[in-house]
Amino acid sequence: MFARQLAPIYDLVYKARGQDFRVESELVAEIVRTRHPSAASLLDVGCGTGEHLLTLGRSFGHVEGIDLSEPMVKVARAKLPGTPFHVADMRDFDLGRTFDAVISLSTAVAYLPSPRDLATAVRRMVRHLAPGGVLIVEPWYFPEAFLEGHIAADVVRGGGRTVSRVSHTRRSPESARVDSHYVVADRHGIEHFTETHVFGLWTREQYLDAIAGAGCTAEYLPDVQSGRGLFVAERG
C-alpha cells in the first residue's frame, strides 16, 4: 500500500474527492480543546502526508507525526520542515514522551490486519497520552454501511498533473479490499500504477472494546468525517 507513486499525488486526489483536511483538523482541535483546554502537544498516528498537521500545528505548540510509509513521510517533512516525523509501526512505536492529544485520522487504524492489532495499536497510543490527554480515532466504515462492489472513478487536475483513478471494492469476512488503478500524466509523459488497500471491516463494539482494553472509555461521535464518525476518549 502507498507506493512511492501515490505519495506525490495523494493530497491532490483526496482533496478533489471531497476530503477537506482543514475542516477535519479544526473539528479535531475543537474536540480536544473542549475536553482539555490547556492541551499544548499533539501526536498524529498515521499522519500520511502531514496535511492535517498543517492546520493542527497552528492550534498546538508542539506537533509530531508517525506513519509506516516512508514516501508519505517524505512528503510531510518537505511540507512541514522542523516538525518531527517518524517512520514507525503504530503497534510498537516509542517516542519517549507523552502528548496532550493523540489522534489517528483518515481511517489509518483500519489498515491493521485484525482487531487484536487494533487493540495493540490503541494501547500504544494511550501510552503516549499524558494524564487527562485526549484520544481521537477515526474508523473505517462499519459492516452494515459497507457497499459491496462499489466502484469509484475520478479525474483530477492540479500541479501540472492530470490524474485518473478507478477503484473497485469487494468484501471478505472481516475486511474489504479496494483495488485502484491510477493513470498520471504530466509534461514528462504518462505513468500507470495500481494500489491494493485492505481495510478492517470491524464493528463499533470492536473499536470500543479496543479502547476499553487500553483503560479508556470512549464515546462515538456519528455523522462527522465523511459519515464515518470519530471515537473520542480521555486518559484518566
pLDDT band at 43 (very low <50, low <70, confident <90, very high): very high
Burial per residue of 93-108, b for 16 or more beta-carbon CB atoms within 10 angstroms, e otherwise = beeeebbbbbbbbbbb
Choose among 138, 185, 177, 141: nearest CA to 160. 185
Give tens-digit pLDDT for 166-194. 999 999 888 999 999 999 999 999 999 99
**pLDDT of the residue at 103:** 98
Choose among 158, 164, 27, 170: nearest CA to 101. 27
Distance of CA 192 to the CA centre of its chain: 25
Burial per residue of 62-81, b for 16 or more beta-carbon CB atoms within 10 angstroms, e otherwise = ebbbbbbbebbbbbbbeebe
Architecture of the structural domain at 18-142+202-234:
3-Layer(aba) Sandwich (3.40)
- Quickly list DSSP for 205-229: HHHHHHHHHTT--EEEE-S-TTTT-
**pLDDT of the residue at 169:** 96
**129-137 vs 230-234, strand pairing mode:** antiparallel
Residue 2 has pLDDT above 80, yes or no: no
Q: Where in the chain is the domain with CATH 2.20.130.10?
A: 144-200
Residue 1 has pLDDT above 80, yes or no: no
**Mean pLDDT calculated for residue range 52-59:** 96
Angle between helices 115-127 and 204-213 (to 10 degrees): 40
**Mean pLDDT calculated for residue range 61-81:** 97
Give percent of the chain above pLDDT 70. Answer: 99
Residue 82 has pLDDT above 90, yes or no: yes
Q: Where in the chain is the domain with CATH 3.40.50.150?
A: 18-142+202-234
Give tens-digit pLDDT for 188-219. 999 999 999 999 999 999 999 999 999 999 99
Q: Does the predicted model carry a pTM greater than 0.85? A: yes
Average model confidence (pLDDT) across the chain: 95
pLDDT band at 147 (very low <50, low <70, confident <90, very high): confident
Q: Which of 40-49, 59-68, 169-178 comes out lowest in average pLDDT? A: 169-178
Domain 144-200 class, CATH top level:
mainly beta
Residue 28 has pLDDT above 90, yes or no: yes
**pLDDT of the residue at 225:** 87
